[in-house]
Amino acid sequence: MRMSPLILVTPCQQAAGTEFADASISLSNRYTQAINDAGGTPLVLPVTATRDQITELVRRADGVLLTGGEDIELKHYAPDTSPELAAKLGEVEPERDLLEFALVDEVFRQRKPLLGICRGHQMLNVALGGTLIVDLPSQRPDALLHKQMERKFELVHDVTLAPDSQIADILGTPQTGTNSTHHQAVARVADPLRVTGTTSDGVVETMELKDRAKLPFLQSVQFHPERLYDRHPHFARLFQAFVRAARGR
């Protein structure tokens, strides 16, 4: 019997004293359950992995999921940010940043399917040379309220999808409601990527490769489909498409 596709999943890194006396990892079970329900086998990436181990783990994996989490350090995309704006940055995960830069590099080098969610969406853009809006309320005061943590399992705004995009094909709709729990967003889009979904205020909500042949599968979304797929089945199709691409790798 053929084994189910192995999906490498990135966790958050917690500082010493957050829960344990030493540094640790955390990950919502929603991510791994979504992969399970789509027919994959999730494997959580150790944040202590060396570059050689990352290379080997990506080699063994059939796909990679970049999950949500804390902010990315400013030095990677906006080193000249003013002190006033820099003060709006949330907690950061410096070691995770470096690990995920290496992970994205290996994904492209080894041509593995990739799904990015929330921070993963932003990380992909930065890793490929793009930038981020540091803080939406400060830099885009006219924007929708995008950080609605108390409604993280609810549809709080609409996203309009490009009709010729893979995400529109996967979800089967030109527009979808989504949840929203972020205060940062994609600013300058990395050259290899194209925007395929936005909110009414122009915030980038979904991206894919301009040249889809570069990877077997790449989708990145600013929202959290793992919190929605069990009640809104079209989001389950996103995980199914990802796992299907990993199976056919």
The pLDDT of residue 89 is above 90: yes
Cα(70)–Cα(148) distance, rounded to whole angstroms? 15
The separation between CA 107 and the C-alpha centre of its own chain, rounded to angstroms, equals 14
User: What average pLDDT does this structure show over 75-101?
Assistant: 95
- pLDDT tier at 249 (50, 70, 90 boundaries)? low
At residue 118 the predicted structure's pLDDT band, cuts being 50, 70 and 90, is: very high
Query: Which residues 6+ apart lie within 8 Å of 3 measured at CB?
Result: 41
Query: For residue 13, what pLDDT is reported?
Result: 81
For the chain, what percent of residues have pLDDT higher than 70? 97
Distance CA 195, CA 216 (A): 18
Nearest CA to 69 out of 125, 151, 10 is that of: 10
Query: Is 9 a residue whose pLDDT tops 90?
Result: yes
Q: What is the pLDDT of residues 204-233, one digit of tens each?
A: 999 999 999 999 999 999 999 999 999 999
Of 130, 129, 147, nearest to 138 (Cα)? 147
Class level of CATH domain 6-247: alpha beta
- C-beta separation of 205 from 184 below 8 A: no
